[in-house]
Amino acid sequence: MSETAISVGQLTRRIQSVLEDEFQRGVFVEGEISNFKLHSSGHRYFTLKDDEAAIAAVMWKTRPLDFLPADGMRVQVFGRLTVYAPRGNYQIDVIKMRPAGLGDLQRILEERKRDLAAKGYFDWQRKKPLPPLPTRIGVVTSATGAALQDILRTVSSRFPAATIVLRAASVQGQGAAADVAQGIIDLQSANVQVIIVGRGGGSIEDLWAFNEMPVIEAIYRSGIPVISAVGHETDETLSDLVADVRAATPTHAAVLVTPYAVDDLLRGIESTCERMETTLRLTIDGFRDMAESFLDGRAARRLDERVKMRVQRVDDVQTRGERAITTTLHRLRDRIEHRMTVLRTLHPYRPLEQGYAVLESAGKIVAADRQLIVGESVTIRRRADITTATITATHNE
């Protein structure tokens, strides 16, 4: 114990020096992520573990990442071993990270698909229709890829009047998702009427940028209709599901934005010209026949026949109208006479014509069931005369 003691800081620095010298070229490690945390600063902190051990890891926000890490995901990382002196921990300073296998990528894809579907990103109600015949078509893809050549060749052959506005972007690897997303955003102000975004075929790793949230959000928030044309017909990415229209291939996307090929338009114009020529010829022939008919008197005769026909039709209408009015008047007269007969039958003085008399008191007819009062003055109305009398006595039968 005669040796001079060193401080904890000195010991930590010596350990750090040994580790960094030993692994100065970096290490390439595979393991499972746990305790993943995306800090508000943008830095990523997590633990990388397997069945035997665990090691802390950090990946700074300045280092690009084209997928979203999650607990339980198996990844491969490349980085430097460093020592975090305040805690005396050693950790991996991650420079690059990628999913370790197809199974993890597929699981991430399915989880993300379920989450986006629940949020309504794939709903048909929000999808925008394609313009009928766009003349400015935006394209986000690699400037050197076969997909661009397929689109250019197809649009040029079908509708050469259309202009292709290319926003070249990286479609694979680190930073591809951010570049594609920014391309979609940039084309919003390029006066295009529709956007094709995509690339040629490849593995799930090759197409992974089109499953990343930056691309999904850019398509979802686009104010311009977006066609997703990623890979081959059997490939399916999240951008296909969120886009307004999915194309099986880039060539198919070019066909969708040019539904009327130039040959179709020329045939349509030719057909229209033929119909116009036929219509014009028939019209001219009609005027010629009319002129000739005026010259030989046929028109005058037809006009006289039409006038006579119209006069006869007016007479027929007048006759039918008079007949209808007469019938209606007779019907109304019969109805009035019937009602007058009913009224005469029901009149209170009708019994006088049959020899009966009507008894009135104070100007009102005395009902048969009303008891007369001694001294009451009454009027006896008969058909021939009216007599006034005073009741002197009453008795009941």
Q: How many CB atoms lie within 10 A of CB 284?
A: 10
DSSP 97-148: EEES-HHHHHHHHHHHHHHHHHTTTT-GGGPPPPPSS-SEEEEEE-TTSHHH
- Domain spans in the chain, listed from the N-terminal domain onward: 8-100, 108-260, 350-390
Question: Looking at the domain 108-260, which fold is it?
Answer: Rossmann fold (3.40.50)
pLDDT on residue 212 = 92
How far apart, in whole angstroms, are the C-alpha atoms of residue 307 and residue 309? Answer: 5
Q: What per-residue confidence (pLDDT) applies to 57?
A: 93
For the stretch 277-320, pLDDT in tens is 777 777 777 777 776 666 666 666 776 677 777 767 777 777 78
What single letter denotes the amino acid at residue 1?
A: M
Fold adopted by 8-100: OB fold (Dihydrolipoamide Acetyltransferase, E2P) (2.40.50)
Residues of the chain with pLDDT under 50: none
pLDDT in tens, 315-365: 777 778 778 888 888 788 888 777 777 776 666 666 777 777 878 888 788
d(CA 33, CA 57): 9
Q: Give the pLDDT confidence score for residue 288 in this predicted structure.
A: 72
> Matching CATH topology for 8-100 and 108-260?
no
